[in-house]
């Protein structure tokens, strides 16, 4: 798996940012897939997402400092994908950091996973920009 990180300062309080950081909002902020269905499974929220003929589930777990989520099952674009979004106090606001590890499960993993991670970093940066604009 290849890992990527994106961070952004947001001039708002931690509770304000955490209220906006929902599973559905995170999918929307990333901008690659549409939310098709949301349901709770105990401590997890499952969000079914899709676009252009692909549909898969993401499993979200809310944390005290943000979210953790992963692709559920084998139907998605990745062999494996897991992401953690944290909100930490910073001078005059918070720093929101998104860390993601991805693998396509294809031959030449050092190359293909790097390309997948590059695309994933773009999604994370877009999500953090959208979150900052939304609060």
Domains and CATH numbers, the chain: 2-134 (3.30.530.20)
Task: Quote the CA–CA distance of 27 and 58 in Å, as a whole number.
Answer: 9
pLDDT given at position 53: 84
How many Cβ atoms from other residues are within 10 Å of residue 67's Cβ? Answer: 21
pLDDT given at position 108: 74
In tens, the pLDDT along 1-46 reads: 889 999 999 999 999 999 999 999 999 999 999 999 999 999 999 9
Q: What is the dihedral of CA 28, 32, 38, 43, to 10 degrees?
A: -90
pLDDT given at position 113: 79
- pTM of the complete model: 0.91
């Amino acid at each position: 798996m290849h890992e990527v990180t994106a961070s952004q300062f947001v001039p708002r309080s931690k509770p304000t940012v955490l209220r906006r950081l929902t599973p559905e909002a995170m999918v929307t902020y990333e901008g690659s897939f549409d939310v098709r269905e949301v349901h709770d499974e105990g401590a997890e929220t499952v969000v079914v997402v899709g676009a252009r003929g692909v549909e898969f589930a993401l499993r979200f777990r809310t944390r005290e400092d943000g979210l953790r989520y992963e692709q559920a099952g084998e139907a998605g674009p990745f062999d494996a994908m897991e992401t953690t979004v944290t909100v930490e106090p910073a001078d005059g606001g918070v720093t929101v950091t998104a860390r993601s590890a991805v693998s396509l499960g294809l031959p030449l993993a050092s190359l293909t996973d790097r390309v997948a991670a590059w695309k994933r970093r773009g999604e994370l940066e877009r999500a953090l920009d959208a979150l900052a604009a939304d609060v």
